[in-house]
Amino acid sequence: MNSTERGVVTPERIMQMAWGYVPPLAIEAALRNRVFDVLDAGPMTLEQVHAATGASARGLRAVMNLLVGLELLRKDAEGRYALTPESSSFLVSTRPSFQGGLLKHTSEQLLPKYLQMNRIVATGEPATAVNQQSDGSEFFLQFVEDIFPMSYGPARVLANHLELADGRPTRVLDLAAGSGVWGIALAQSSDAVTVTAVDWAGVMPATRRVTGRFGLADRYTYVEGDLLQAEFGSGHTVATLGHILHSEGEERSRMLLAKTFAALAPGGTIAIAEFLVNPERTGPVGGLIFAVNMLVNTDVGDTFSFEEISSWLREAGFTDVRQLESPGPSPLILATKPA
């Protein structure tokens, strides 16, 4: 097979990756300068966006034109910029589906740690260990609220799947509760749902703040402490572990699943949200990227396959390990404590 039949190899993809840090930083700049929020009112010229935001015309022109190229804005023949369905849905801060919170952490909190990547790969030592209370509490106190929309959709799917709206009393154990998003979605589905939220003392103010904002604080019990040391209680109907196993690492995850099993009532359900990879660790790319994120930001964290987590669940005593499709980065993993 000659080179033409194989296809011509070019450096274009590598060159695109070389500039891969630019799009998230440009989106962050647009978010912080209210570009998407301002354009939510309708198409505007550069001058109108400049007047509405106070940002420099030169800066806006460069960033907004790039966003047109990224198909996050449109530009008509009269030079007016407008939102696309994607940016309208996910980058306008007043939308319930807003996903820009994560991007707002790029320049000051996420990227500086990644600049240590050469050393991290050479030594295996992370830039920080956000899975430890000393490093993680301050970061997560704000971060958990910004990533609330990432989990709210999957949490609503879980609530519908569990059919909680029938009004039966349901006790939810929300582990590493963060913003409280998983318990909130389940509590919204029925007045008969109560929630025990467990998280570090330094993060719990965010949990209390958000649950209060949703008018659900009276149905919450707040337990402060490390997951392997805090008192979970017993007899819970549902336990949620929303994006926590990846930072805990394998050993702590297996202990946590065993402890959760003991806290559930017979017939209870555990629901796990994670960034999954395939058993060979060759994809999907999102899960592989998040494994690198764990390398940079934790001392033992990683991403795992459905097969790995399934084996840990069965080891803990769970049965009927299964996946539930959801709008999150991966399907939810569900399992049952035998009745």
CATH code assigned at 294: 3.40.50.150
Do 62 and 160 fall within a single domain?
no
pLDDT band, very low/low/confident/very high, at 5 (cuts 50, 70, 90): low
Taken as a whole, the chain contains a residue count of: 339
Measured CA to CA, the distance from residue 182 to residue 200 in angstroms comes to 16
Do 252 and 285 fall within a single domain?
yes
Do 319 and 249 fall within a single domain?
yes
Render the burial of 120-146: b for 16+ CB within 10 Å, e for the rest: beeeeebbbbbbebebbbebbbebbbb
The confidence score (pLDDT) of residue 3 equals: 44
Flag whether 105 is in a domain.
Answer: no
Residue 262 burial (CB count, 10 A): 11
Do 206 and 323 fall within a single domain?
yes
230-237: average pLDDT: 98
The confidence score (pLDDT) of residue 1 equals: 47
pLDDT band, very low/low/confident/very high, at 6 (cuts 50, 70, 90): low
Do 247 and 210 fall within a single domain?
yes
Give the range of the structural domain holding residue 46, as residue numbers without chain letter.
Answer: 3-100
The confidence score (pLDDT) of residue 139 equals: 81
pLDDT band, very low/low/confident/very high, at 172 (cuts 50, 70, 90): very high
Do 138 and 272 fall within a single domain?
yes
Flag whether 230 is in a domain.
Answer: yes
143 pLDDT exceeds 70? yes
Flag whether 110 is in a domain.
Answer: no
Q: What's the mean per-residue pLDDT of the chain?
A: 95
Domain tally, the chain: 2
